[in-house]
Structure 1
Amino acid sequence: MLDRDYFNSISDLSPFEIKDELIKLARIGAEKSTRTFLNAGRGNPNWIATKAREAFFLLGQFALSEARRSYSDPKAGIAGMPPRDGAHERFTRWIRAQVVEETDDDFDIEGTPAANTLADAVDFAIKRFGFEPDAFVHELTDSIIGDNYPVPDRALHHNEIVTHEYLMWAMCAGRRPDVKFDLYPVEGGTAAMCYIFKALKNQRLLNAGDTIALGTPIFTPYLEMPELEDYGLHIVRMSAEQEDKFQFTDEDVETLADPKVKALFLVNPGNPSAAAMDADSMGRLVRFVNERRPDLMILTDDVYGTFVPGFESIMGHLPRNTIGVYSFSKYFGCTGWRLGVIAVAQDNIFDERIRAHPEEMQQVVANRYKAMAPKPREVKFIDRIVADSRDVALNHTAGLSLPQQVMMTLFGLVEMMDDDKAYQRACIAICEKRFRNLVEGMGVESDPGPYFDYYYGIIDLEFWLRKYLGEDVVSWVKENIHPLDIPFRLAEDHGIVLLNGSGFAAPNWSARVSFANLNDEAYSEIGRAVRSIARGYVQAYQASKGEPITA
């Protein structure tokens, strides 16, 4: 086993860097035994949403037929661009021709469900949003071909409307605000984080030496990025504890009372806590901001909100203060598609604070955008995010890839057509079953409550040892065991990879487990392995005290 000095030397590394060593150890251990290598440190789900994808790939075939309509040289393999006029009528006739009665047992299909899904999605959008049929179908066909730059560059017209409505369900199902958000589709939640940090700095809304609060535990980049020399921000933690089911107390929220705290960054539901803010915690934060910190800027990353029925984002309660971030990757099993979106209310404090800058600073900031607008001071904050994502000079070629925006549109439409929420219930059921398997394997009881998303979980050995064995055992473990011993022992002795919780500002003697990326039975095995490690610690404690070994 690796020693304490080694653990101390790597304790400041991101858990996503430490995992490489854990994977190496786990693979070696698995190869030397009959154990299966199990990597539960990844967040990539092992399921995919099929209906929207089926519609997407079929739509591509129609789009090619449309492109050949304007020009076709089959020998050279060249076609033109899809025409707009009459696009919907041609789409309707083309879809009708795809519907057949035969079945193919080899592929378990009946007729062409993709054609039905695509036709229903187009019809649903036209009726729900009042789209002009030719314009909407042309946006889909021209975009899936990918023959143009994004126009508008921030978001395609129809995609923004569809995605806005989807977000009102995904992020504000329990509290839909009566406001309009401007959206910027981006290359996943990763790009959203990078673009927002950069824009806040460029607008002088966050400057080197400023202080931000993080709702912890939290996804590691939110801990690491502010401290880069690019930003030079100070961090205070608004720490939610497992004893409170990771909800913010009055004492936690009081962290924001210091006027030096310029912004609050949240992941809701949490990664790795998997807990969404409950009504009390949400109300506590909303009242505090409204009554004492109306100037507070908030960034909320709500990627896992779709795994909590009736989820409420802080952007639904405090839209003026909040930048919303959502990624399609986890819910639809599409991390490789890189689909995310930034949402900013049209009435917001970010534009307000930019206008309130001293004249000298306003001039500096405005000069950044003078090549893209005759009145650069009037460029909205959301459009500054777009421009900054391309270093302003390339603003004219900004925007998410058009085929990606079509995939986003179809994911949103198919979900909105699912009145029974069969897909959502199925996704939650997958993760919940795996959670139950893990808990049973550990031999503990756990009722996380209705605000738990079951996507991740924190295995907090300190919490469980204290609950079942008492403070003496906990004190001995903390004095004699390095926190990184848990993930390294899991890897070396059991062939299992979990990430160290300390890297997420979670309790030191904890590990993060993903319930999304392994088969159901693997979680029973992980639970038994964790139990075995805890038993080993207790036995070591008993031996040190000269007590009979009973664990």
Structure 2
Amino acid sequence: MAKGKRDSEQAKLSMLSPFELKDELIKAAGGGAVERAANLAMLNAGRGNPNFLATIPRHGFWQLGLFAMREAERSFAYMPEGVGGFPKREGLAERFELFVREHKDVPGVAFLAGCVSYVRDQLGLSGTDFLYEMCEGILASNYPVPDRMLKISEVIVGQYLRREMIGKHPFVGEFDIFAVEGGTAAMTYIFNTMRENHLITAGDTIALGMPIFTPYIEIPSLNDYQLNVVNLNADVSKGWQYTNKELDKLRDPKVKAFFLVNPSNPPSVKISDESLEYIADIIKERPDLILLTDDVYGTFADDFVSLFALAPRNTILVYSYSKYFGATGWRLGTIATHRDNVLDKLLSDLPKATKAELHKRYESITTDPDNLKFIDRLVADSRTVALNHTAGLSTPQQVQMVLFSLFALMDTPDAYKNALKRVIRRRKQALYEEIGISFKDDDPDQVDYYTILDVEFLGERAYGRKFVDWLLANTEPTELLFRLASEARVVLLPGMGFGTPHPSGRVSLANLNESDYRKIGRAVRKLIEEYVERYNEATGSKLDKSKVI
């Protein structure tokens, strides 16, 4: 292919979302556009989907389903046509204890018995009510009631979020939860309801903590929203932390909302305690600022504390169960807001004409639409208001969410969490050793679900600025990724698609085995050495291509 045409094609590809470019890289690696990581000849480290999952709460789910079927078959038992009915509350706990005794050696049954005990003894809830909600939920025989989230399920998930997102940090008050179809649905619903309720309007300014999950970059520019964006850029030289100078951009009263992913995607670094405190101090000056923190990777961090813990009145918390429990296919996510929050205050302060417009929007679902909380507007808007009565995450999904939550709550020594941390950190070490990057594991803010191979930062550190300038002048950012794909069958995602300042590759440390990361490391090293050779030939230099980065 002629150089001009090749450059034109590379320029077009650089405009694609990294998740769309991934399909082109997979094709270059010899796979189909929708091929999964099962193609062992191709090492697709571009996927964030983990190759590990939590087994115990899944065993519990299937055994709970069998118990619930026994309960359903007790009704209409006289009919031979396979007709069942709703579970009966009376005697439910006793029948469950009998089920446990009959199946005590079956995987998942002891876990279920532990769940009932924990809910009853530690949370002080009715074991019978819990069992009934779980049985009815897993049978999916009724609409989600309440539509925002099942009652006992919300309490249990709330306890899980308190443990993982707030921890030991002081927290006053309660919060509401909306169970949604994964973190992606949470993003969609929040943007939409903020627009519908005039909390953000076309031409408004929001801030993004960069780098960030690509949809947060792409959604604001859509015709639906037409928002101006101020980027707060994390500094790669400071371990991907935000400087106070960057955070000070939030002091501008034009900034209506600040969206961030913490720990970050793709650098996989949690915001430092100092920066969290700094943001909380800014909120004291800007009590009207809306914060959204997407904390899906928080459970992989050491001693994680969410921004939601420090500034609960201003913060919308988004959390997904997808990565930690290996449950991307379940589509399990939550939105949480403090019961005393700035969103509801901003709604109450809207102009009279706007409030009248919103009164009409929601008057079919409540007798007091003016005081409908933001989180309940999310529920209604998720079903275009008119279908509010059928809103809510499917009840089997909520049941699995509850079992995941109880699994973590009952794991007091954090055995599962520590096992996952060991797995991904060993993978990172294997990758770095083969590339030739000196491995340091002493940053308490590193989470390591992903790692970023920053061409400019690492290249300058190893070979100097002249080499980096030559490399950037003689290659397109995506060229390196396509060469890895076509020559080594290694697929990485472009970091710049997530807002990284330099050309880079995002490596997921969650979806391949340790030996695979060694292969990826060797492929990256070979590519680096080839470019060093080309640089030496072009410039007459004598850089040592075997140098440890």
The SS at the match of 2:324 is helix
Matched residue, 1:408: 401
Q: Which residue of 1 aligns with 2:101?
A: 96
**3-state SS of 2:458 partner:** helix
Separation in structure 2 between the aligned mates of residue 549 and residue 431 of structure 1, nearest angstrom: 33
Hey, what's the Cα distance between the residues in 1 that align with 2:180 and 2:150?
12
Match of 1:257 in 2: 251
1:68 alignment partner in structure 2:
73
1:385 aligns with 2:388: no
SS at match of 1:295: coil
Q: Which residue of 1 aligns with 2:8?
A: 5
Structure 1 residues 181 and 444, CA gap change in structure 2 (3 angstroms): same
CA distance in 2, matches of 1:459, 1:409: 37
Matched residue SS, 1:171: helix
- CA RMSD in angstroms comes to 1.7
Partner residue, 2:19: 16
Which residue matches 1:107? none
Matched AA of 1:3:
R
- 2:154 match: 160
User: Which residue matches 2:347?
Assistant: 354
User: d(CA) in 2 for partners of 1:313 and 1:469?
Assistant: 38
Q: Do structure 1's residue 376 and structure 2's residue 369 form an aligned pair?
A: yes
- Contact 1:35-1:495 within 8 A present in 2 as well: no
Q: Distance in 2 between matches of 1:348 and 1:35?
A: 49
Alignment match, 1:270: 264
1:513 corresponding residue in structure 2: 507
**Is the 1:460–1:507 Cα contact (8 Å) retained in structure 2?**
no
State the 1:4 CA deviation.
Answer: 2.0
> C-alpha offsets along residues 486-534 of structure 1, whole Å, 9 cap, x if unaligned?
2111101110000011100013320101001011111111112112222
- Structure 1 unaligned blocks of 5 or more: 100-110
TM-score (norm 1): 0.95
Partner of 2:461, secondary structure, is: helix
Residue of 206, 215, 224 corresponding to 2:209: 215
- The residue correspondences of 1:293-304 to structure 2 (distance < 5 A) are 293-304=286-297
Q: Are 1:474 and 2:468 matched, yes or no?
A: yes
Q: Deviations over 1:356-386 (max 9, x none)?
A: 0111111112211010011110111110000
What TM-score results when the alignment is normalised by the length of structure 2?
0.95
Contact kept in structure 2, 1:49 and 1:332, CA below 8 Å: yes
Question: 1:379-426 CA deviation, whole Å, 9 max, x = no partner?
Answer: 111100000000000000001100111111111111111111100000
Q: Which residue of 2 aligns with 1:102?
A: none
* 1:35 Cα offset (Å): 9.0
3-state SS of paired residue (2:166): coil
Match of 2:438, as an amino acid? Answer: E
Alignment pair present for 1:56 and 2:61: yes
Decide whether the 8 Å contact of 2:463 with 2:543 is kept in 1.
no
Report the alpha carbon displacement of residue 155 of structure 1 after superposing the two structures with TM. Answer: 0.6
Shift of residue 12, structure 1, vs aligned partner: 1.6
Query: Gaps spanning 5+ residues in structure 2: where?
Result: none
Task: Specify the alignment match of 1:240 in structure 2.
Answer: 234
How big is the shift at 1:133?
Answer: 2.3
Alpha-carbon distance in structure 1 between the residues aligned to 2:338 and 2:385: 22
Is residue 83 of structure 2 the alignment partner of residue 78 of structure 1?
yes
Q: Which residue in the other structure is 1:184 paired with?
A: 178
Take 1:471 and 1:549, find their aligned partners in 2: how far apart are those partners?
12
Q: Secondary structure at the match of 2:426?
A: helix
Higher mean Cα deviation, 130-139 or 312-321?
Answer: 130-139
In 2: Cα distance, 1:549 partner to 1:342 partner: 52
Distance, in Å, in 1 between the alignment partners of 2:14 and 2:307 is 33
- Kindly state the Cα deviation for residue 73 of structure 1 after the two structures are TM-superposed: 5.2
Would you say the 8 A contact 1:174–1:310 is kept in 2?
no
User: Is 1:329 aligned to 2:316, yes or no?
Assistant: no
Give SS of 1:116's match.
helix
Which residue identity is paired with 1:163?
A: V
Kindly report which structure 2 residues correspond to 1:400-439, keeping only aligned pairs within 5 A, or say none. 400-439=393-432
Equivalent position to 1:484, from 478, 484, 493: 478
Deviations 1:84-120 (A, max 9, x none): 2221121112211212xxxxxxxxxxx2242111101
Q: CA deviation at 1:10?
A: 2.1
- Give the residue type in structure 1 aligned to 2:29: A
- 2:224 alignment partner, one of 230, 240, 245: 230
Alpha-carbon displacement from aligned partner over 1:6-41 (angstroms, at most 9, x marks no partner): 1112212101111111001112699xxx99310000
